[in-house]
Chain A
């Protein structure tokens, strides 16, 4: 058992005894669960609904979780797969781009890569992060972003380029497959 696995196990046991500690599990895993769900959900609204359902169910059923050496996030992915399947069933859709099953090793790595990217976005200078938020999360046009930030459209395009180029460079400099978060391959 390595340190991170041991750490996760202790944290789960602490959360089972005191639900307030569940928030630490949430902080560690919310980006991974969201990244997993987002690839399959088809819309941001559905991804958020399903992610909410995953953590609410996980909190409600935490005492049923039994440690068997499998990372906690695998349990969350299983809940997410069921929540997505329920969603597609309610929506009357038989097929979708990715099946709502647990990720294979290749997707694990891809999810880790995205989680790393999300963390890098969180550390961008405020104005660059705002541009990313407005363009990619809120689907706002350059004109709308420029108006919101009281800058010219040209200046916003430069900020956008600088932010994405920073992410590209920092990303390329990081060791492959490392998110800085424990437990995924534990």
Chain B
């Protein structure tokens, strides 16, 4: 009889182990004790899907050309900086009012608009102001961590944003509210709720890229820019509601949504090599790298979901 019951008794022990990490009850049962000790160790058995995926990433990374992305080239910047095109300075004002952004640079290029740089917390944003209302904006999506999501959400509405989701505690460890600014950019305003929150792995602002087929797009970014997958959630049928990659020392997030084609500025030690690599990976060439009067060397490509990537080597210092 005891033998017949053993599978049930062991299963109860495993339930307790998985739920509470506690198998102490089993230690009083001589028939179960040795099995429970093995079961306790099995809680640490690595997910072979994870170890295989990590191996594949390392393999890609180890065979990447040395066309390499160049971190830390400008103080405060990472390898990738979002570049938002708008007609006027209204976006900068919105960011200052909502996120206490600090304007760090303005270049007025007569006939070519204004280039503006702002710092939000630990992150940088670039804005291109065309001065032409007839040129369509290229809105993007951002995940931004703040101390008080409710307060910042309210400030965003006051500054002219529209709510697309009131602040509430989200199942992924954040209190978050969602807005669209007057130029169409999405802002996912979040406060970390616990030690496991993504907020501890990210800077203040992280670009959130939308794609219909996130897995396919991530593969492109790996081939084009050596992006390394950090994490992904996957639903039945292969839908990826969330994923994160690292490009150089910058992080970007992904979700399965209709694309919002935006623009991203990428620093590279060898922009020509990265440009060629991106085209080989399937990007559309827009402009081959050339030296600019400002001292930078820059080329442009369009990726398969319509995002533009400005691949640049900064002026030598």
Contact = CB atoms under 8 A, between A and B. Distances in A.
B54 interface: yes
B34 A168 contact: yes
Interface of B: 6-8, 10-11, 14-15, 18, 34-35, 38-39, 41-48, 50-51, 54-55, 57-59, 61-63, 195-196, 200-201, 228, 230-231
Contacts of B43: 136
Interface in A30-45: 30-31, 34-35, 38-39, 42-45
Contact of A93 (B7, B34, B195): B195
Given A90-B200, A117-B41, A133-B48, A142 B62 contact: no
28 contacts: A22-B62, A26-B55, A31-B46, A34-B44, A34-B46, A34-B51, A35-B44, A39-B44, A45-B196, A51-B54, A52-B57, A56-B58, A59-B61, A87-B200, A88-B195, A114-B44, A135-B18, A136-B14, A136-B39, A136-B42, A142-B11, A157-B7, A157-B8, A160-B11, A161-B10, A161-B35, A168-B38, A172-B34
Given A27-B55, A154-B7, 19 more contacts: A20-B63, A23-B62, A26-B54, A30-B46, A38-B44, A45-B231, A49-B201, A49-B230, A51-B46, A51-B54, A59-B58, A88-B195, A117-B41, A121-B45, A133-B47, A136-B14, A167-B42, A168-B35, A171-B38
A122 to B, nearest CB: 7
A165 B26 CA distance: 15
Nearest to A25: B58
B38 A19 contact: no
Contacts of B38: 117, 164, 167-168, 171
B156 to A, nearest CB: 25
Listed residue (A20, A38, A118, A164) with the most chain B CB atoms within 10 angstroms of its CB:
A164
Interface string A140-166: 011000000000001001101100110
A171 B6 CA distance: 20
Nearest to A87: B200
